[in-house]
Amino acid sequence: SLLFVDLDHFKEVNDTLGHNAGDLLLQTIGPRLQAIVREDSIARLGGDEFGLIVRDPAAAETVAERIHETLLKPFKVEDLSIPVRASIGIAVYPRDATSTDTLLQRADLAMYQAKAAHSRHTFYTAGSDHSSREHLELAAQLPAAIAEQQLVVYYQPQVDLSTGSCRGVEALVRWQHPEHGLLGPDRFIAMAEQTGLMHELTASVLEQ
């Protein structure tokens, strides 16, 4: 099995503490992951992404849980204790792919599905390529959707039960997509977080 590990909200560490602190954090994550699998079975794939090979496919889920456990033990960075969370995608050879590139791609797809579902780890499933392609298309369209005011806001009343009067409203954002119709926040909020668009999305909602 190939485990594709992506750190959640790592950009916040770089933005808040600086890239040097982010690099120090990555350097301390590596040895913890190496303690779980053999040294020749792990690689940093780039940025905040790591790949791990688990030679026994039946042990993949157990290894994924061990990764989560070891990352949640706080890391010391500039006198701060920082727990790290990760999203993990798992692809199995030869069931999911027989080539290195395809196996890596499908583990990557599974990771994005785990991140979107707020699940700690997800196995690649046949047919998820189509949904991932749609996800990529929506991610590419989201900046223009915000700029062109395709995001609309619905208001849910907050009622004082003792008087029956409306004391306020909750603003609920939706995406009025020109092709797919009205999309709920589960289709694009996590996407906005992953692509660094939450500031623009939030500003659009507040303006409305």
**Per-residue pLDDT tens for 150-193?**
999 999 999 999 999 999 999 999 999 999 999 999 889 878 88
In the numeric block, the tokens 């997509």 are attached to 177
pLDDT given for residue 167 in this prediction = 95
Q: Which residues of 23-51 are buried (b: 16+ CB within 10 A; e: fewer)?
A: ebbbeebeeebeebbeeebbeeeeebbbb
Residue 174 CB neighbour total at 10 angstroms: 17
Q: Is 48 a catalytic residue?
A: yes
List the structure tokens of 70: 């070891």
pLDDT at 117 (0 to 100): 79
Which of 48, 96, 129, 160 is catalytic? The answer is: 48
**For 166, left (φ over 0), alpha (ψ -120 to 50), or beta?**
beta
pLDDT, residue 132, reads: 65
The predicted structure's pLDDT at residue 130: 55
**C-alpha–C-alpha distance, residues 170 and 86, integer Å:** 30
pLDDT at position 129: 59
For the chain, helix, strand, coil in percent to 5 are: 50, 25, 25
Low-confidence ranges of the chain (pLDDT < 50): none
